[in-house]
Structure 1
Amino acid sequence: MNSDPGSEIAGDRIKVWFRFVPREGWLPQDTEGLWATRLGADTARVDNVPFLQDGVAQGDVVRFRTDDEGLHWATGRVSASGNCTVRVLPVASGPLGRSPRAVHQRLAEFQLGGEVFSDEFPLVAFDVSAGTDFGALKLLLVRGQDEGWWHFEVGSGTEAFWNA
């Protein structure tokens, strides 16, 4: 690949960076880099699930600008994929312990793709595809939270998700 960041061509994998205000009582980061596939001079499709950035999901197309250091900074979403981002943090004292594997097993029926933040912080970010039974997933997420299995949040939800 050419070392000049401006010369990358469509199809290249790039990292697109997002800036946000850190939430109180949450991780102190104010940026997150997501892998993406370049689609054009200033657009890319997000290829992984965000742990921190809200309002974007895997498969979404984002616009970015490239700074003088060659970093690609997101400036907005061009189109939505229909996927949702759900983050689940197991409760250490709960029946699943701090196990991201146990979280995956509890949600296995939905065939969600996901990533784990770290061994020290077992937050699981799930990619929830547009074809998922959103109603059943939401019921299980709420049940798990009510029964002390985990805490969860929706980082990016679609109209279909919210209306399910």
Structure 2
Amino acid sequence: MSSPAGPERPPREADQIKVWFRVAPREDGPPPYETEGLWATRLGPDTARVDNVPFLRDGVAEGETVRFRTDDDGVHWAVGRVADSGNCTVRVLPVPDGPLGHDVRAVHERLAGFGLTGEVFSADFPLVALTVPGGADLRGVKALLARGRDEGWWHFEVSCDTDAWRSA
């Protein structure tokens, strides 16, 4: 049965927008970039669902709904979160002289069994940003991340977590 607004439809390419986030300074110094643009699906006149994992912006995960404002130049700036996705964001940087070297495939292979997806920043800077689904084995993910850190595979940081992550 259709609602008065019509049947739900899959997003069209026209529904894809870039939402820009300001990147806050870090304890270890200024960020390498001041902003980060994330692809999102427009849900309403000022809301969108984040469609990819952030590399730089803390406190945001893939799948979350954000509110944005559009400036005079047509740029969409995030101004707040409307709904959590239940997902977490983890960033993993392989240790160059460690057992994995710069091999981002090895990072993905070790974490793939948990259903994590992600992206690589660049070949020159093999930072892997991962989305950890809320339904994943969070205890197992955390244990493997810690093991990899302890065995010199990688450094990692959790840039967006949930209550479930913290209690796992």
Specify if TM > 0.5.
Answer: yes
Find runs of 4+ consecutive structure 1 residues off by over 4 angstroms: none
Equivalences for residues 1-164 of structure 1 within 5 A: 12-23=15-26, 24=28, 27-164=31-168
Verify the 8 A CA contact 1:18 1:53 in the aligned structure 2.
Answer: yes
Tell me how far apart the structure 1 counterparts of residues 73 and 82 of structure 2 sit (CA, whole Å). Answer: 24
RMSD across aligned positions (CA): 1.3
Tell me how far apart the structure 1 counterparts of residues 121 and 33 of structure 2 sit (CA, whole Å). Answer: 13
One-letter code aligned to 2:48: A
Tell me how far apart the structure 1 counterparts of residues 126 and 86 of structure 2 sit (CA, whole Å). Answer: 26
Q: Which runs of 5+ in 2 are unaligned?
A: 1-10
Verify the 8 A CA contact 2:18 2:38 in the aligned structure 1.
Answer: yes
TM-score normalised to the size of structure 2? 0.89
Per the TM alignment, residue 25 of structure 1 is displaced from its structure 2 partner at its CA by: 5.3
Give the 3-state SS of the residue equivalent to 2:48 in structure 1.
strand
Tell me how far apart the structure 2 counterparts of residues 26 and 128 of structure 1 sit (CA, whole Å). Answer: 26
Tell me how far apart the structure 1 counterparts of residues 98 and 30 of structure 2 sit (CA, whole Å). Answer: 20
One-letter code aligned to 2:87: N
Q: Which runs of 5+ in 1 are unaligned?
A: 1-9
Tell me how far apart the structure 2 counterparts of residues 58 and 111 of structure 1 sit (CA, whole Å). Answer: 14
Task: Please give the per-residue CA displacement for 1:125-145, whole angstroms capped at 9, x wherever unaligned.
Answer: 001111100001001101100
TM-score normalised to the size of structure 1? 0.91
Give the 3-state SS of the residue equivalent to 1:88 in structure 2.
strand
Per the TM alignment, residue 26 of structure 1 is displaced from its structure 2 partner at its CA by: 7.0
Sequence identity, in percent?
A: 68
